[in-house]
Structure 1
Amino acid sequence: MHDSEERYPPPLCHPGTCEAVIARIEEWYGFEIPPKKKIMWVYAPAGYGKTAVAGTVSKKLEIRTDLDFNPIGATFFFWRTSPERNSPMRFIITLAYQLAMSIPELTPHIETAVKRNPMILNKALEAQLMKLIVEPFKSLGELDDIPHRLIVVDGLDECINSDQESRVEKQYAEDQEHAQIRVLDLILTLQSHHLPLCFLIFSRPEPWIKQHIESWSFQAVTEMLNLYKVGDHMKDVETFVRNELARIAESLDPQPDDKDEWPGENLVQRLVRRTDGHILYAATAIRHIGIPYEDPRQRLQDLLEWHLHLTPALSHSTSFSSLHELYRQIIRSCPLGNRDAMVEVLEDILAPPDVFESHVGVHRALDILDRISCRMPGRGIKAIRSLHAVIRLVNDQDGSPNHEPEFFYHSSFHEFLRKHPRLLPGVTIDVQKGVRRLLVGCLKSLSSINLNSRLDEEHLKFALSKWAYLWLEWKPFNEPEYSSELTALLAVDLTACFIQELSSNSQFPSSLRLCLEDLYHPTANLIVDGKRFLWSIHTSFVEDAVLHLRSSILGALLHVLDSDYFGRNHQHLLRPDALPAFMAIYMAQLYENRPPGFEIAVQAFRRLQLEQGELYEQLEWGVVCSARGGEGLSLVESMFKLVSRYQSVK
């Protein structure tokens, strides 16, 4: 939602800017007169303020007092780094909830749909759309008298289908494209039912998005708006630059040799020309200039003087080339003595994307990375202090956490680091170094965990939940490196780690989920998948690690199925997220593969059934519900039938 806590403070247009594009959107929407084309697609490359425009339109329409209805029906702001908002899985239920709030007449019909079939919340999005939005609207009868509401969907290109993220990069890209096209088709389906809804979509002009919206089915109902061609971007940037430099100037002490008030018209115009109308460049430059612990006058002067030394080809290149050079200039500002540490911290940040919860905040996340990477406490934040313009370094240790789950102000800096790893002569980013450094630190942390461990320290929680992801991302450089980490993994009590993760996580633990994928496949399991030196390492060593993983997961299952343990912890074990979801996947694999230990697992289930019959039935119901909709449902049901028929309980 545009006003959710996770987005606070929400990106909005600077006062006095983007007025032309906002007026164009309002003209299309029409308020009391619905537009002929009920979908508008606003597109522009990264950094042209699409999200700010979307947020400003939502806020401006929501506070209108001259209407007897709220024009904003619902909003959904996709965001790549937020697990709550980077997948289409919550798209329909979020819209339905907001529509129930903005159109109260819908509320009883939506509530009835959920009460009638609670599993609708887990059904396919297309089914949710019909039951939670279309049919409730149809239940109202005549719809012509209902004012049409606006649904704002921002960042469609940020929908990456993380819930079904593939291990193969190419397949992941295809999944991302499929997810975005699916959202567009859901919107087109809603539009086809002639509901009192209009749809405002913001995204980059990705080729597949553009091609789909330009198809015949969309063309008849969609108006396209190129954000870059609307309004006077140079004027908008000048307004922003003047106001921000004036704000910075107010905090300066006057210097004895100041003849004119800083910054002066010449400096303002030079910086405005430098932006070429690119608001992202202007915002980044202002943050760089306004770093509180350095002189902004010198920072601005350095920035403009650096521009004089650009080659003619670069100085007349695209705004993104100039933006990348600005990023390099920001990196140059880092003291030479800090650059090695700065590179290491950036590698750590890039290694595990999207792994920190939104409430963690940048400072706490860097503290965790320091601990895992064996740096001195606080070293990470000091190493990247000069990157204040591109990394969120607000203080979140005073009880007011930064709710942004993203390190970077804009995704373009993240993309720049990955696509241009040679930042400066002698300064190169190697993401794989970060992956291995964190993996080594996680395995070292895990080696201290047993069943009685108290997981009060955040770096231990991080290690528990992220080591498998890092193992999956890690590409060994040579055989000794691979052997070293196999040895470290064999030294970890994985059974205890899995049990601790199940006990401390209200949702299905991420490491355990990854470990379960293709667990009994000979080459696609977590330990060996993608490790190019596998076949030249002693086979038995690898087999030991694979067996260690499989037996540890079985050990965790047997531990929680112990009658005494289950009886003491049944309320925790019967919750709908962690244990039933784990069992649903694992039981399907056990039944299908019949690995060593299968008989022991069946015995453990049967013993629990006989000793804790009522609780066992609740567990069975929860596991079957967790498997419902997945490929393993029939296998899970067959496994439970086998348990019920099993006679030889020892």
Structure 2
Amino acid sequence: MPTGGRQDVRFFEGARNVLITDSRFDIEATQPVRFKGWKEVIAPGAFHNSGERFDPPKCHPRTRKAILEKILSWVRGEIDPEAFIFWLNGSVGVGKSAIGQTIAEICEENGLLLASFFFGRSDPTRNNAEFLITTLAYQIGLSVSQARHRIEQVFAHDPVVHTRSLETQMKKLVIEPLRQAVADQINTPPLIIVDGLDECIDRSMQCKILDIIYQAGHCFRASGIHLVFLVGSRPEQEISLKLESFPMRGVTTHHILGDSNDADDDICHFLEDEFEEIKKTHPLKDSIPLSWPSLYDINSLVWRASGQFLYAHIVIDYTCNIRHHPIDRLQEIISLPAGKTNNLFADLDTLYTHIFSSLKNVDSALKIIGFKLADPFDKDIDSGLSRILHDVLTLSFDDVKLILGDLSSVIKVIHKPESSPHIWKMNLQHASLGEFLTDQHRSKQHFVDVQPIIAEWVSWILQNNLVHGDRMFWGLLGALEKLESCKSKVLHDALQDVHLGLLLSKPFVQSPTLCPALYKVILQIQTMCQ
């Protein structure tokens, strides 16, 4: 029977004197359902091979062999067969996402990857669960064509299924389509990756996601389906308690990164290979002796890294800067006082402090980074960052490049003049940099207070009348909500003359949800600032 509507199939209409013998007709009356609104309900940046995550961190050759093989053996069902959750955890900078990315690429090549979702705290489509299930469902449809038809039938029947509860979405868009595919004797890849769970900004939602993963895994096991979830995160308290509680602990295996000799050996291999590359490619390579760096230097860096690949990566990026001699740059790091062994971030903080203390124009650099950290439209290359820096700080792209030139080890500035000569984007290479700069206890004289800078964003948006669409509206609203407890003078100046009636008359806010939300937030802040 057809799905998606009744169809009349008529044969030989109007024919006369027809004789048919020993014939067979195979009729496909069902028309395929095609849901055309995928791009509105998924987060493409969460794919392991997304262009938005171009050049994501991956495991360096000769490193991580033991943990990669352990995870792959688990995916194939060769070890811990009772566990359908593998929790890959560790502190900042130990390489969780690099391992998740490498596993995704290996499994995709070998037909083992079903779907993946890489959370990202600075991306509004990846720092919450709004698009989690639909993004997984989209990839499942690409991996298993029979499941795709079932998924798109769900959207045809319920076009707003993506707004249902996460439990309903998981059941309708993941569990039932895969169950049906397996019932039709279709082989399905076994692995779903959820990386960076701690970067989902709602901590209660982190636990809810784990509950949904458990429920899905339990359903698949009950149906005899081998499907497993690799979850990567920092060992945040909520996540740890959830995975270590009954009944999840019975179906979860875990691995803590950075607490074994393997990590030191891997970091040593990484440093050796990267220093060899510097000796081959740096413009000053002819003045670098073959014996550089010394074994003492390597061992010192490995010890200071304390299992953190992040530290080793920053050391290499800092050392290979073409504007400086590698020997001098490495000696600067080796000469830094070693941190206290009971402070995980001590050596990383010392390295960050040294990098910023070496800048000629550190105040301007911190101001630029502050605008980046406060950017309410962080995901988009045309976010307004380049324009606000021009308008508020009178800085051009060339100015920014010069000021941030010696921060290339931790910050990348992306400019595509062929597409838009005046628009560029700035990326902080490591989330730990923002955490360091916004923690006054750690960064001290390099502390960045983002609250007044968010207020400057609000002021600039309103003064330049840039609120011209849903994207800008939600960015403005998000910035205002962050400032509800801020009595900043710049915020008062930004909002005291706002004509609410004029702002609320704009077509894009004329909806039952947008208009009251904007009015409420601005009114609250205006009252607070009086």
TM-score normalised by structure 1 residue count: 0.66
Q: Return 5+ residue gaps in structure 2 as ranges.
A: 1-46
Q: Within 2, Cα distance between the matches of 1:38 and 1:154?
A: 15
Deviations 1:109-152 (A, max 9, x none): 22332323323233222112222222223334648884661111
- Would the alpha carbon gap of residues 274 and 96 (structure 1) be closer, same or farther in structure 2, given more than 3 Å must change? same
Letter in 1 for 2:457: L
Q: Within 2, Cα distance between the matches of 1:257 and 1:292?
A: 13
1:489 pairs with one of 498, 503, 507: 498
Q: Within 2, Cα distance between the matches of 1:472 and 1:78?
A: 22
The aligned counterpart of 2:55 is 9
1:110 and 1:136 in contact (8 A); partners too: yes
The 10-residue stretch of structure 1 (323-332 or 36-45) with the greater mean CA deviation from structure 2 = 36-45
The aligned counterpart of 2:65 is 19
Q: Report how far residue 36 of structure 1 moved.
A: 2.1
2:85 and 2:252 in contact (8 A); partners too: yes
2:492 and 2:526 in contact (8 A); partners too: no
Q: Report how far residue 257 of structure 1 moved.
A: 7.4
- Would the alpha carbon gap of residues 383 and 134 (structure 1) be closer, same or farther in structure 2, given more than 3 Å must change? same
- Would the alpha carbon gap of residues 444 and 140 (structure 1) be closer, same or farther in structure 2, given more than 3 Å must change? closer
- Would the alpha carbon gap of residues 36 and 251 (structure 1) be closer, same or farther in structure 2, given more than 3 Å must change? same
Q: Within 1, Cα distance between the matches of 2:145 and 2:364?
A: 55
- Would the alpha carbon gap of residues 263 and 225 (structure 1) be closer, same or farther in structure 2, given more than 3 Å must change? closer
- Would the alpha carbon gap of residues 466 and 375 (structure 1) be closer, same or farther in structure 2, given more than 3 Å must change? farther
Paired positions, count: 478
Letter in 2 for 1:320: F
Match status 1:177 vs 2:203:
yes
SS of equivalent residue, structure 2 residue 427: coil
Match status 1:133 vs 2:153:
no
Q: Report how far residue 472 of structure 1 moved.
A: 4.1
The aligned counterpart of 1:356 is 378
Match status 1:44 vs 2:76:
no
Q: Within 2, Cα distance between the matches of 1:293 and 1:153?
A: 39
Q: Within 2, Cα distance between the matches of 1:186 and 1:476?
A: 34
Superposed, 1:211-610 pairs within 5 Å as 211-229=241-259, 232-252=262-282, 261-307=291-337, 314-335=339-360, 338-352=361-375, 354-360=376-382, 366-378=385-397, 379-397=399-417, 399=419, 407-420=427-440, 423=443, 425=445, 427-446=446-465, 466-474=475-483, 484-490=493-499, 494=503, 498-499=506-507, 502=508, 516-517=516-517, 519=519, 525-529=521-525, 532-534=528-530
RMSD: 3.6
Structure number with greater CO (CA < 8 Å, separation at least 6) is 2
The aligned counterpart of 1:191 is 217
1:444 and 1:488 in contact (8 A); partners too: no
- Would the alpha carbon gap of residues 28 and 143 (structure 1) be closer, same or farther in structure 2, given more than 3 Å must change? farther
- Would the alpha carbon gap of residues 526 and 421 (structure 1) be closer, same or farther in structure 2, given more than 3 Å must change? farther
Q: Report how far residue 526 of structure 1 moved.
A: 2.0
SS of equivalent residue, structure 1 residue 41: strand
Q: Within 2, Cα distance between the matches of 1:92 and 1:420?
A: 37
2:477 and 2:518 in contact (8 A); partners too: no
1:180 and 1:209 in contact (8 A); partners too: yes
Q: Report how far residue 530 of structure 1 moved.
A: 8.5
2:372 and 2:426 in contact (8 A); partners too: no
Q: Return 5+ residue gaps in structure 1 as ranges.
A: 65-69, 161-175, 503-507, 535-650
The 10-residue stretch of structure 1 (16-25 or 435-444) with the greater mean CA deviation from structure 2 = 435-444
Q: Within 1, Cα distance between the matches of 2:456 and 2:529?
A: 19
- Would the alpha carbon gap of residues 80 and 252 (structure 1) be closer, same or farther in structure 2, given more than 3 Å must change? closer
Q: Within 2, Cα distance between the matches of 1:145 and 1:442?
A: 53
Letter in 2 for 1:153: V
- Would the alpha carbon gap of residues 372 and 463 (structure 1) be closer, same or farther in structure 2, given more than 3 Å must change? farther
The aligned counterpart of 2:115 is 74
Q: Within 1, Cα distance between the matches of 2:493 and 2:424?
A: 36
Identity %: 26
Q: Within 1, Cα distance between the matches of 2:287 and 2:50?
A: 48
Q: Report how far residue 482 of structure 1 moved.
A: 6.0
- Would the alpha carbon gap of residues 37 and 247 (structure 1) be closer, same or farther in structure 2, given more than 3 Å must change? same
Q: Within 2, Cα distance between the matches of 1:341 and 1:239?
A: 37
Q: Give the helix-richer structure, 1 or 2.
A: 1
Q: Report how far residue 183 of structure 1 moved.
A: 0.8
The aligned counterpart of 1:560 is none
Deviations 1:284-310 (A, max 9, x none): 111111222222221111111123xx5
- Would the alpha carbon gap of residues 121 and 484 (structure 1) be closer, same or farther in structure 2, given more than 3 Å must change? closer
Q: Within 2, Cα distance between the matches of 1:331 and 1:252?
A: 23
